[in-house]
Amino acid sequence: MNTDAVMPKAACATCSLAQNARLIKLGIETGGWDYVVALAGNPNTGKSTVFNAVTGLRQHTGNWPGKTVTRAEGGFIYDGKRYKLVDLPGTYSLLSTSVDEEIARDFILFGQPHVTVVVVDATRLERNLNLVLQILEITDRVVVCLNLMDEAERHGIKVDDRALARDLGVPVVPTVARRGEGIPELLAAIAQVASGEYATRPHRIRHLDPEVGQAVERLTREIEKTFKGLPNARWVAMRLLEGDERIIEAVRKHELGELAPAAEMASTMQPALETA
């Protein structure tokens, strides 16, 4: 299957109204969902703005990294299907085991969203791809929202979204979230990835040096044997090689795969506070 989720611009000049009619914003109502969609991305790329545009809610937004620090949930109906959308705090990476990336990391890893939308800043694509490539190692159900296209244009930056979609193997949708441009196309892409209609072929990190690459491969095979059907064995292998305590613990307790999002993660400050 080779459907290109990035709708050709010309075809959509007239259809965006019709597509919008297929969207019903549900605000804070998230019950009875068919799909869970996570909004991830670097800080300050417009995740909360996308969230607001789709759910009709008014999460606070602001032009500085770190505006959102808690998880927010909202709902919408698109094409008759109910979606729960989760706005996450921005992170530069999911590899650092630092506290401020914890909410996002835990949700993407253990919340097992049906689709993860990575909102990227079109004016600084290279650094944003760092996170995109990490997320593509965790899940193959990804849509890239290439936001801030107006800013890119203002600064004379052009991004070839089709080439990018080819390279990443997932849909790439250019948007100007603040004006609602591209949101219908984004929803269409989310729906296609959620239903499996768009089969993604996610990019895998290529330039691993041979020694590291082999270690990852060997461990991945072993993990796949132990945990059949685990979607992100390669990622788990990388985390084990790094010595990530959280993942080691999950393997030891055979919790991988069933690790649901812990309802309320205990405040991670606590142990540290007792010694403070």
Partner 1 sequence: MAVTVQTLDTLAPGQKAVVKDLAVEGLERRRLMDLGILPGTVIEPELKSPLGDPTAYLVRGTLIALRREQARHIHVVPLEEEQDEH
Partner 2 sequence: MTDKAMPPDSPDPLLDMADSLRQEVGPDFHDRLVESIYTDASQIASHTVTHDGERGRFYWDRTLDRLLTSRTWGFPIMGLMLMAVFWLTISGANVPSAMLADLLMDKVYNALHGAASALSLPWWLSGFVIDGMYLATAWVVSVMLPPMAIFFPLFTLLEDFGYLPRVAFNLDRLFHRAGAHGKQALSMMMGFGCNAAGVISTRIIDSPRERLIAIITNNFSICNGRWPTLILMGTIFIGATAPPALASFAAAASVVTIAVLGIILALGVSWFLSRTWLKGETSAFSLELPPYRPPQILQTLYTSVIDRTLIVLWRAVVMAAPAGAIIWLLGNITLGDASLAVHLVQLLNPIGLLFGLNGVILVAYVLAIPANEIVIPTILMLTLMVSGSDAVQAGVMIEMEDQTQVYNVLVNMGGWTLLTAINLMLFSLIHNPCSTTILTIWNETKNLRWTTVATLLPLGLGFAVTFLTATVARLFGLV
Ligand X SMILES: Nc1nc2c(ncn2[C@@H]2O[C@H](COP(=O)(O)OP(=O)(O)OP(=O)(O)O)[C@@H](O)[C@H]2O)c(=O)[nH]1
String marking each residue 144-163 x if it binds ligand X according to CB under 6 A: ---xx-xx------------
Q: Which residues neighbour 169 within 8 Å (Cβ) at sequence distance 6 or greater?
A: 136, 200, 201, 202, 203
Question: Among 24, 28, 199, 241, which residue interacts with partner 2 (rule: CB under 8 A)?
Answer: 241
Say which DSSP state 266 is in: P
Q: Is residue 68 within the footprint of Mg ion (CB under 5 A)?
A: yes
47 vs 203, which CB is nearer to ligand X?
A: 47
Q: Is residue 46 within the footprint of ligand X (CB under 6 A)?
A: yes
Question: Among 98, 196, 199, 201, which residue interacts with partner 2 (rule: CB under 8 A)?
Answer: 98
Q: Is residue 124 within the footprint of ligand X (CB under 6 A)?
A: no
Separation of CA 180 from chain center: 19
Question: Among 42, 48, 55, 128, which residue interacts with Mg ion (rule: CB under 5 A)?
Answer: 48
Question: Among 44, 116, 123, 192, which residue interacts with ligand X (rule: CB under 6 A)?
Answer: 44
Q: Which stretch binds partner 2 (CB under 8 A): 111-119, 180-188, 194-202, 216-224?
A: 216-224
47 vs 234, which CB is nearer to Mg ion?
A: 47
177 vs 194, which CB is nearer to ligand X?
A: 177
Q: Which stretch binds partner 1 (CB under 8 A): 5-13, 23-31, 122-130, 182-190?
A: 122-130
CA 186/CA 6 separation, integer angstroms: 8
CA 90/CA 246 separation, integer angstroms: 21
Q: Is residue 232 within the footprint of ligand X (CB under 6 A)?
A: no
User: Quick one: tokens of 190?
Assistant: 């989310």
Contact predicate 172/144, CB 8 Å: yes
Roughly what angle, to the nearest 10 degrees, separates helices 183-195 and 47-55? 90
Phi-psi region of 252 (alpha: psi -120 to 50; beta: other; left: phi over 0): alpha
Contact predicate 164/158, CB 8 Å: no
Could you tell me the smallest distance in angstroms from the CB atom of residue 113 to partner 2? 22
Nearest to 119 by CA among 91, 83, 157, 158: 91
Q: Which residues bind ligand X (CB under 6 A)?
A: 41, 43-49, 61-63, 65-68, 89-90, 147-148, 150-151, 176-178
